[in-house]
Amino acid sequence: MGSGQELKNGDTGKTKIFIIGVVHTENACRNADSLFNILQDIRPDLILSETDTLGGYFKPDYTMVEPPKWYKMARKLSVAKKMPPEMEILYTYRNFDSSIKILPFDMTFNRKKSAVFDKREEEWDAIVNKAHKEKKIAAGLLPLFKLHVNNMNYLNSQFEKSYREINKNLVSDSIRYLMVVERELNFKLIEELPELVRFKDWQSKKVEDWLNRNSIMTKNILRFSELTKARKVVVLTGLLHKYILKDLLSSSNTDGKYELVEYFEK
């Protein structure tokens, strides 16, 4: 398992792209203040946010909306309800650097279809967990099943750590491996368990959609970097996306215009 993102020293004249994997919640060591320190150190020309123009933070022309009224009130009253830290920092950093360009780089989502997908995911998990509890999973498949469980437990253990810790190459490589194991396991489970046969097309579509979404995200990263003529680009993306964006950006034909820089390995 290779790593598509590597540290580059010195100014090569290329646009530097820093991919910062995030978790959409905060804790004492991973929050908007942590992200602010990172951005202040990098001083990017462009911040790309993993959201779309229907997500409530950007208008169709890609400009940011003002902070939602509930957010302003929550901050004023110091109540718990907050934006995810990677969204809150967009407003904080814009106040710090009025010249910063901030754009959404995710694909456009159909919220109703996303809700249906989430329900199917819950149904799948319930059936698989029940089959495992009732010892219906074939003995020959158990090692792969246990490997996947161990991979998930490892990933979940990383979610509470700092941005530095979750952005290590080891974590990205582990997620890449988890995805490979999960894909193999899911299709073998469909072959083994009759109650999962109805999910076969859905699982195939799930894999296709994952690759398509990340491909669109990669194209948008390159497109917006080119349009804005940015020299330093920070990509704030969910941790699960980091490994595949690294891979796709490394394999893209960019005529040597860009370099991936791993901020936390400086």
The alpha carbon dihedral of 56, 241, 108, 223 has a sign of: positive
Residue 244: the pLDDT is 97
pLDDT at 9: 46
Q: What is the pLDDT of residue 59?
A: 87
CA dihedral 120, 126, 129, 133 (to 10 degrees): -150
What average pLDDT does the chain have?
89
Count of C-beta atoms within a 10 Å radius of residue 67: 16
As a whole number, mean pLDDT of residues 93-122 equals 90
- pLDDT at position 89 over 50: yes
* Neighbouring-strand partners of residue 222: none
pLDDT single digits (tens) 226-250: 999 999 999 999 999 999 999 999 9
Percent pLDDT > 90 in the chain is: 73
How do 232-238 and 46-49 pair as beta strands? parallel
Q: Of the candidates 185, 239, 236, 169, which has an alpha carbon nearest to the alpha carbon of residue 35?
A: 236
Three-state SS string over 5-40 comes to CCCCCCCCCCEEEEEEEECCCCECCECHHHHHHHHH
Query: Phi-psi region for residue 16, left (φ > 0), alpha (ψ -120 to 50) or beta?
Result: beta
Confidence (pTM):
0.88
Q: What is the mean pLDDT of residues 74-102?
A: 83
| Residue 119 pLDDT exceeds 60 | yes
Residue 47 tokens, joined: 């911040």
**Residue 8 binned pLDDT confidence (cut-offs 50, 70, 90):** very low
Q: Per-residue pLDDT averaged across 20-42, rounded? A: 95
Query: Residue 222 above 60 pLDDT?
Result: yes
The structure tokens listed for 111 are 């919220």
DSSP letter string over the chain?
---S-----S--SSEEEEEEEE-SS-BTTBSHHHHHHHHHHH--SEEEES--TTSSSB-TTSPBPPPPHHHHHHHHHT-S----HHHHHHHHHHHH-TT-EEEE-SPP--HHHHHHHHHHHHHHHHHHHHHHHTT-S-GGGHHHHHHHHHHHHHHHHHTTS-HHHHTSHHHHHHHHHHHHHHHHHHHHHHHH-GGGGGGHHHHHHHHHHHHHHHHHHHHHHHHHHHHHT-SEEEEEEEHHHHHHHHHHHHHS--TT-EEE--GGG-
pLDDT at 113: 78
| Residue 148: per-residue pLDDT | 97
Beta carbons within 10 angstroms of residue 168's beta carbon: 16
pLDDT for 114 beyond 70:
yes
Of 212, 175, 226, residue with least CA distance to 21 = 175
Dihedral sign, CA of 241, 246, 247, 251? positive
Reported as a single tens digit per residue, the pLDDT across 55-71 is 778 988 998 988 766 56
Instruction: Please choose, from the candidates 194, 119, 181, 111, the residue with its C-alpha nearest in 3D space to the C-alpha of residue 153.
Output: 181
User: What would the mean pLDDT of 161-165 be, rounded to a whole number?
Assistant: 96
Assess whether pLDDT exceeds 50 at residue 29. yes
pLDDT of residue 77: 57
Question: What is the rounded distance in angstroms from the CA atom of residue 257 to the CA atom of residue 236?
Answer: 20
pLDDT reading at 78 higher than 60 = no
34 within 8 A of 162, measured Cβ to Cβ: yes
Is residue 5's pLDDT more than 60? no
The mean per-residue pLDDT over the stretch 25-36 comes to 93
pLDDT at 4: 38
